[in-house]
Amino acid sequence: MSFSEKRQLVRAAMKAPYLSREEELQLAYRWRDDRDEKALEKLSLSHMRLVIAVAARFRNFGLPLGDLIQEGHVGLLEAAARFEPEREVRFSTYATWWIRASIQDYILRNWSIVRGGTSSTQKSLFFNLRRLRAKLSNSQTPLTDSELHRKIADAIGVKQSDVALMNARLSGPDTSLNAPITDSEGSSADRQDFLVSDDPLPDEIVTGQIDTERRNRWLSSALEVLSERELKIVRERRLSEEGATLEALGVKLGISKERVRQIESRAMEKLKSALLAAQPDQAVYST
């Protein structure tokens, strides 16, 4: 939105007449029940002063005021779509929450190239941290960072670690991973070259895959020593994601759950013996 367009929008909002409670309710009913576009236009235009006033409270976040007003107008239209006039609440009271929420969501999406949290905790921290930090920093008794974070956490009702993390995010600008870093010897490299990955190394991944395939072959071979009933019990008790209970298996097989336990125990011993016979040095299969 250009500067001239913003001025025209502000002028139109300031010229729009105020609505009485009766006029407001009438327009709200016409929009909700009859989808009267002219009623919506008049209702929204008469409340653009409110949108501008709310948007102005967030002008210090570095985003164009015109964009904030546009987002506030989106919230205003959302409020009009959800407003229930029979509750006898003034539309401005109801719309203020939607206008503010729309503007805050826009700021969170565009304030940084790194997407921040949108939970109620993160939003409360983002929009109140600077104000509380400035208020506490102006106290006569100097506070350490830890004390400052603790007081802010208590005031907002969040964890101290969340305050420290948000404070770090708000304290500096975004930094590109491709930003060059030069050492004392004049060598240059990108910042991303110094990032440490917690993922396993390629050789570790391959080794793990080979070991898994080998163990699967050993297990498949060992399962051949079991009887049909033993194999069914072991598969449903030990090799399925949701292991069946002894009682459920007993009902399915027509035996007691104690008998199921005995068969399972015997089957596991047979598996252990078969595995150790095939791979004597693989004691990891001991149950």
State the pLDDT confidence band at 166, using cuts at 50, 70 and 90: confident
Tell me the CB-side half-sphere exposure of residue 13, using CA atoms within 13 A: 17
Each residue's pLDDT tens digit, 72-104: 999 999 999 999 999 889 999 999 999 999 998
Mean pLDDT is lowest, of 27-31, 103-107, 142-146, 248-252, for 142-146
- Asked whether the predicted pLDDT for residue 222 surpasses 90, the reply is no
- Asked whether the predicted pLDDT for residue 195 surpasses 70, the reply is yes
Q: What is the pLDDT of residue 133?
A: 75
CATH class of 202-285: mainly alpha
Contact 157, 165 (CB under 8 A): no
Q: What is the pLDDT of residue 283?
A: 53
**CATH fold of 3-110:** Four Helix Bundle (Hemerythrin (Met), subunit A) (1.20.120)
- Asked whether the predicted pLDDT for residue 170 surpasses 90, the reply is no
Q: What is the pLDDT of residue 284?
A: 46
| Spatial distance between the Cα atoms of 166 and 108, rounded to a whole number of angstroms | 13
Please give the torsion angle defined by the CA atoms of residues 80, 84, 90 and 92, in that order, rounded to the nearest 10 degrees: -20
What percent of the chain stands above pLDDT 90? 29
- Asked whether the predicted pLDDT for residue 281 surpasses 80, the reply is no
Of 17 and 245, the one with more pLDDT? 245
Q: Which of 103, 44, 106 is nearest to 79 (CA)?
A: 44
For residues 186-197, average pLDDT: 75
The residues near 109 (Cβ < 8 Å, ≥ 6 apart) are 115
- Asked whether the predicted pLDDT for residue 71 surpasses 90, the reply is yes
| Spatial distance between the Cα atoms of 110 and 114, rounded to a whole number of angstroms | 9
Q: What is the pLDDT of residue 287?
A: 43
Q: What is the pLDDT of residue 137?
A: 72
Q: Is the full-model pTM beyond 0.85? A: no
Mean confidence (pLDDT) of the chain:
82
For residues 33-47, average pLDDT: 92
* Sequence-distant contacts of 21-25: CB under 8 A, at least 24 apart: 21/90, 24/85, 24/90, 24/91, 25/85
| Spatial distance between the Cα atoms of 121 and 156, rounded to a whole number of angstroms | 8
DSSP single-letter state for residue 36: -
Q: What is the pLDDT of residue 266?
A: 92
Please state the φ and ψ torsions of residue 6, each to the nearest 5 degrees.
Answer: -65, -40
Contact 274, 222 (CB under 8 A): yes
The three-state secondary structure class of 189 is strand
| Spatial distance between the Cα atoms of 219 and 197, rounded to a whole number of angstroms | 33
State the pLDDT confidence band at 157, using cuts at 50, 70 and 90: confident
- Asked whether the predicted pLDDT for residue 3 surpasses 90, the reply is no
Mean pLDDT is lowest, of 123-127, 144-148, 172-176, for 172-176
Q: What is the pLDDT of residue 123?
A: 72
For residues 185-203, average pLDDT: 78
| Spatial distance between the Cα atoms of 151 and 139, rounded to a whole number of angstroms | 12
For residues 26-38, average pLDDT: 93
Per DSSP, helices labelled H in 138-201 are 145-156, 160-171
| Spatial distance between the Cα atoms of 176 and 178, rounded to a whole number of angstroms | 5
Q: Which of 100, 98, 83, 97 is nearest to 24 (CA)?
A: 83
The three-state secondary structure class of 190 is strand
Contact 264, 275 (CB under 8 A): no
State the pLDDT confidence band at 255, using cuts at 50, 70 and 90: very high
Tell me the CB-side half-sphere exposure of residue 201, using CA atoms within 13 A: 3
For residues 182-195, average pLDDT: 73
H/E run at residue 181: strand 180-182
- Gyration radius from the chain CA atoms: 33
Please name the residue that has the structure tokens 């327009």.
27
Contact 263, 271 (CB under 8 A): no
Q: Which of 223, 236, 228 is nearest to 268 (CA)?
A: 223
